[in-house]
Every structure is written in structure tokens, then in C-alpha cells.
Chains A and B, each alone.
Chain A
Amino acid sequence: MIYQSLYQLATREELVQDPSYEPWPVAYLIKLGADGKYLGYSAPGLDQPTDAKGRPRGKPKPPARQVPRRSDRTSNDNAEFLVDKAEYVLGIDPADRRDAGKLETRRKLFRDYVESALADVPSPALSAVVNFLSSPVPDDLERLATAETDSDKAERAGEVFGFVYEPDGGVSCVHDDPAVKSWFGSRQHESESVRRGQCLVTGEKDVPLTRLHAKPKNIPPKAKTKGGVPLTSVNADAFKSYHLDDIQCAPISPAASIAVETALNRLLDPSYRRPDGTACEPRSVQLSSDTVFLFWSRDEARLDWVTGIESDSPDTVAHLLRSPYKSGHAPIDDPTAFYGLILTGAQGRAIVRSFLQSTVAQVAIAIDRYREDVRILRPYGQGEGSFGLGDYRRALVPRRDLDHLPPSLASDLYLAILFDRPFPQSILHALIRRNRVELLPKRERGDRRDDLLLATRCSLLKAWLIRNRRENITVTLDRERSDPYYRLGRLLAVIDRLQQDALGHVNATVVDLYYGSASSTPEAVFPTLLRRSQHHIGKLRREKRGLAINRDRLLQEVVGDLQHFPKTLTLEQQGLFAIGFYHQRQDFYTKKEEDTNA
């Protein structure tokens, strides 16, 4: 279904108008007059590529145009048709790597290709190009191609030249000419494999089968996937069934292969443009340094809210879920199919980590549910709400360093959210572990501690317990809640508060020293803590009697009718402990806004 749904996407979004052409950034246009007279060159204005959120990402590049589909050339001499780099068009290597003989060969190959087109298509534009290619390179082009600095050289070497024939109007390129296009198109089909068979994407019987399989670009890690990595490849004996190599084993028609590749390129590139130049909505989320999540729908649907949960609290997308779209449906009741594909590009192949199918409505409902599950009272007066997925991920790792995050964890969490599944067990482990090590980091200035990290973790813990254990947990402090784990967490918060009231600033608070043991072995630790807190109350009574009475009353309330302290707590119980602790702590802060918060 993967290939088929991608093929449907390419058809619906009209991503492939001419299968023999593909988008490529053309850096320079060489202008030619009648008989190939050189008129100069122009460099079209650069486009700034954006990421999935529309922010600028990467260096500005020349805009992509539809150019004749490029071959799978690597380092051998093989000229592309009418649009190629300086080595082939001018016979000059900006990076100075090739010797003169080779460059001459390359320019000749390029010229020969155009000449063969000229033989069949007697266009003055083509003959102008041939004339240009037969004459020495004009000075300004030579200067252009001879770059100065090393970085310029590398860049210039890859930049590609196109041709514009002025007498034809001077706007479209020689390769845009319909006669040239169809010449190239029919040539493509001849050179494709002659084998025929049933295409496994379209089902058509007895169609020519492609030898070149889809090689999408931009699969992370991008450094390793320059030039694209194939999705289908039978490149070792072990994968040949019945001794069938990849064309025969996975028969696909050229049109289907190109459609699939183009659809993948479109999904992988947030700033992709259709052949007619219109932009496409971003449909990718990078889950880790080498995995990307792509999503699309069968029919046109509004999907911008899928990426919304990445950096912002899911509350920001709530209204999007309910606003009707062109199709007439709001995402929350749109029945069209929703597809998700997780790809990674390590090891020189495109690897499918997961493929999921659902409906837009179900995904919208899942996100809505997620929104409810993570809702918590946030610190610093931010009110009820939640956090972005990026924040949640950073809360799971030491020093907020995402390299420590097991990649499967990132994708499992993301999929659990989108497809309404239980959260992975490892999330619970990570949250509890991090709480024991780094509960309340010190702020940069002053005595205050950073509650945000704890809030993030408790928000995710709450969601975990609700989804995986069907717990019922409130957004704010639940005074009525009787379960001992929640209460113990509250108790620790009260004890900590007492210490602060009595002693003021202390280098190592009760929480710093005892959180880990209090949450995992309460029986061993709480009697001591309660004894200490009595001393604090005593001191408080002498200084601020009213406060002492209040605190004492609160202490009694929280302890309630707790008969004994549990010996040990399971991870889930430690989770409740953490939430109780946080809720109580927040309750202290939200009442008095004065100077207790920065």
C-alpha cells in the first residue's frame, strides 16, 4: 500500500506533469541570440528554503525548474541533456580537479547530445546552442566558472547552466520547448528496460518495466543521502528470490516509479514546489537525527495541525481540528485515509521503519485526546495547558541533550500520540529516572528553582498513567485523592515548604537530599522527614505563629489517615508520587503570586 498511496498522492497533487522532466535548481541561464551569438548570462534570484514550520532553513538556492530528467551519473563522463554543470557546458572545472583532456571530452559529449536532438528537431534554438558549444567560451563565463575561494569552487562546480534563446521571447528555456520535450521524452522510453510485466503499483499488465527505481532525496541523515537513496533495491544475492533481480522481482512501470519518487521528494522537502511553481504544504516531521515521519491523506484535507504539536502545546491546534476545510469536513470528522511513513536513510538505503494507515478523523481525535491527557497546571502563572513535544523529549534526557534519546523512543512516542496507542514503557522509566537525578534544577540567578522541567515531566507522567493504566488524574491539586502515593508526594512538598518557611534559603533542601529515597522507599525515610519537619514547625511557631498553624493543619490534612508508609513503590506509584509532589508545590505558588516566583 505504501507505493500505491504515494502514487495516488502524486496524481492528486499533480506533482508530475511530464514524467521525463524533474525539478532541479538552475543557477545560471545563458542567453543566446540568432545563430548562437552569445548575449550574456543571468542568475535568477535565489529562493530561501524553509523548514516544516515555514522558518528559513539552509542557504538560499536558485529556484527549481523543470529540467530534463537527469541520469544516475556518478563520476563517469556522461552528459545530461541541455542542462548541466560547468564542466560539460563550458569545459571548465571550477574546482580544478579535472585535466583539460577530460573537460574537452565532456564538453563534446554535451554538444553531441544536443546535436542528436537537432537532427530530429530542426529548431533554431537548438542550433544556436550547438554553435555556442562549438565556439570558445566567452570571457565573462570563464570568469564566472573560475572561482576564487575553495568553498566557492566546490559550490560553483555543482551549479547548473540552462539556455535561453532570446528570439523565442527570452523567458522560457530551450529545454522548455514542447518539441524538444517530446523528443527527450520518447528517447527516455526507448532507453528504459524493454522487459515488460505487470506493474505492482498500478496493476497494469504488460507494461514496460523501469530499471531505475525511486531514489528519494532528503531522507535523514541528510549528509549521507545526497543524491537520493533507493527504496527498492535488490543489491545482494540474499534478496533475489527465484534468481529474480530487482526489476523482475519488483516490477514497476516507469510512470509509477517516477510518481512515487516525486511524491516522496515532495513529502521530504518542506519547501517543495510543484511543476507549476506553487508551493506544497509541509508534510514531514523529523523525529531524530536519522528518522523522518512523513504523512499525507488520500483526499485533500487540512493537515497543518499534525506538525503543530511539535513545538507548541497541543492547545494551539485544538481550534484547527474543528474548523471545516474546503472538503467540507473539519479534520475531526474527515473520513479520508491518513497515511504515515517513517523512513530512515542510514546505510545507503531508504529503510521503512513503519507504515501506518488510519483516517484523518481518527488522528484528529487522537491528538485531541492527547491534549486532554497532558493537560496540567503550568508554573509561573501560565495557567492550565501543556507543552510541545520537543519539550517533552528534552525532559527525558540528561542535560536536555537529545542525542541521548533512543531513536525508537522518539518515534514510538510520536506514533502513540497520533494513532492513539499506549505510550511506550520506556517513557515511564525515563521520566522517573530523570526525576531522581534532576528534579528541580537551580536557576541561573537567585535561589529559585526551575519548576518547568518538573511540570513537563509530570504532564507526560499524567498522560502516561491515564492512557496506560486508566488512572484518573486531575489537572490541578486533588485534595480528595486518597491514594497513598499521591499523598506521599504531596507530603514531601509540604515538608519541603516547611523547611523553606522555617530556614529560608538552604543550599541543599530536603527535596534535593531525599526525593529519590522518599519516592522509592518511603518507609525508610518519611519518619525521619516528619521528625525534622516538627522542628521546623516549632521554629515557625516562635516566629510566625499564624503560618505555623496553617502549615500544621495542612500537614495533618495530607497525612490524613495514612496508616503506615509503604516499603517500596513501583514505577507507576512513583509517577503518582511525582504528580502529587508537583500539584502540591504548584498549589503553594499559585495562591501567593508576590515574590515567590520570578
Chain B
Amino acid sequence: MLQRSPTHRVRVRGPYACFTRPELKAERVSYEVMTPSAARGVIEAILWKPALRWVIERIHVLAPIRFGAVRRNEVNSKLSSKGNLSNYFAAEDRAQRNTILLIDVDYVIEAHFQITERAGPDDNLQKFEEMFTRRLSKGQAFHAPYLGCREFAADFEPAPQIWAVPEELRGTRELGLMLLDVFIPESLGRPEPRFFPAVLADGTIVIPEVRQ
């Protein structure tokens, strides 16, 4: 049985966010709310080691859902990690693409972590607990956490104890199938996306547990 930490709550906000729908990747359209995958990304930026596996439990939405659109000149290729960029010319590789994003987002992420098989002899729950709490309150992170796309940097802080659910988010709203995360199942050996039916109830989405 894997040990699990108590639930941590992190508040994340930013002026722009784009949690891209996988079916509309080229001309991005964001989901209405943060995906568990993106939430995991934010938390992992604060603290992650191979010894840890973060599990997202809930996502609370604190600000009304507002969409906006931008048109940007993007490039079509990815940079090679090998490093030889001498014959890459962005001007020849441009495409103008539309992005539908979220404006002024504010979330509280509830998550806990588990110790994995890759833990060392000195790794234990308490140690990482303290590390995380400390880093969270100091605002420390390995890289700037972002809201879906790297260019939308996020501000993070420990979550408040209570908050007011905005008027527009009261009630229950079905968001359809949302990306849960991209997993690498043992059987398959390559990454595979999984989806879950997302329901926004009074500003909160409960993330189902994933059975491996």
C-alpha cells in the first residue's frame, strides 16, 4: 500500500490561461477550467522528485469563467534538444494561429502526493511535506508554473481557508469530457490520454481516482 500525504491546497492565478483541448490543438481552444493535468504541472513545478507522485483531488474555481481570443504568429516546428539551430529560420516556418484562452483565472488545487517505488532510503512523507509547505509559502519553484501553456505564467500561494463562490458558478454545470491526464500504461508502453466527465458543482470539480 502506498503512503499518502494529507491534502495540500494551493491557490493559483494569472491573467491568461489556456488549457488546450486535445481535439483542437492547432487552433487552440481552451477548456472552461483547469485540467487535472495542468494542475499537476503547477504543483510539480513547486516540488517534484522521482520519489513523489502527485494526485489531484479537486479543483476549485474562484473567478468567473471568461474567454478571450488572440491571434499569434507561431512557428510550426519544435526546437531540437540536440542544439544545432544554425539552419532554423523562424521566418520561413511561421503560421498565424488563433487561440481561445481564459482571462483572469483563479483556482485552488487540492492534491496529495504518494511515495513511489523510486524513493531512496532517506525519503519519507514528512520530509517532503515540510519541503512542500516551505516552498509554497516562500513562493519557491523549479521553474515558473504556468496555466496550460508556458507563456501564461501563474502566481501561486497557499490557499485561503474559505472563499466566496462567484454568482455565475453556483449550481451544477456539465462540462463534457475533459482531459484527465496523459498516462503511460505499462501494457502500452507509450503515452495515452484519458478523459473523464467533468462536472462543475458550485465552483468545484472533483477529479476521479485513476486505477492503474
Q: Which residues of A contact B (CB under 8 A)?
A: 1-5, 197-198, 200-201, 203, 231-244, 246, 248-252, 347, 349-355
Contact = CB atoms under 8 A, between A and B. Distances in A.
Interface string B172-185: 00011101001000
Given A201-B177, A231-B24, 4 more contacts: A2-B29, A238-B76, A250-B22, A355-B100
Given A242-B182, A248-B192, A349 B26 contact: yes
A235 B26 contact: yes
A249 B193 contact: yes
B75 A238 contact: yes
A197 B67 CA distance: 30
A5 B192 CA distance: 24
Nearest to A248: B192
Contacts of A3: 23, 176
Contacts of A203: 177, 195, 197
A244 B74 CA distance: 20
Nearest to B173: A357
Nearest to A1: B176
Interface residues of B, number: 33
Contacts of A353: 69, 98, 100
A237 B74 CA distance: 12
Given A236-B76, A242-B191, A355 B29 contact: yes
Interface in B72-100: 74-78, 95-98, 100
B138 interface: no
B95 A200 contact: no
Contacts of B100: 352-355
Contacts of A251: 193
Contacts of A355: 29, 100
Contacts of A246: 25
B203 to A, nearest CB: 17
A241 B148 CA distance: 12
B194 interface: yes
B176 to A, nearest CB: 4
B167 to A, nearest CB: 15
Contacts of A240: 78
A197 B180 CA distance: 14
B27 interface: yes
B29 A238 contact: no
Q: Which 7 A-B pairs have the closest CB atoms?
A: A236-B76, A250-B23, A242-B191, A1-B176, A4-B176, A351-B27, A250-B22
A391 to B, nearest CB: 27
A234 B28 CA distance: 11
Nearest to A408: B69
A239 B77 CA distance: 8
A201 B193 CA distance: 13
Interface in B160-212: 175-177, 179, 182, 190-195, 197
B177 A349 contact: no
B177 A354 contact: no
Contacts of A5: 176
B15 to A, nearest CB: 20
A4 B77 contact: no
A232 B78 contact: no
A234 B97 CA distance: 13
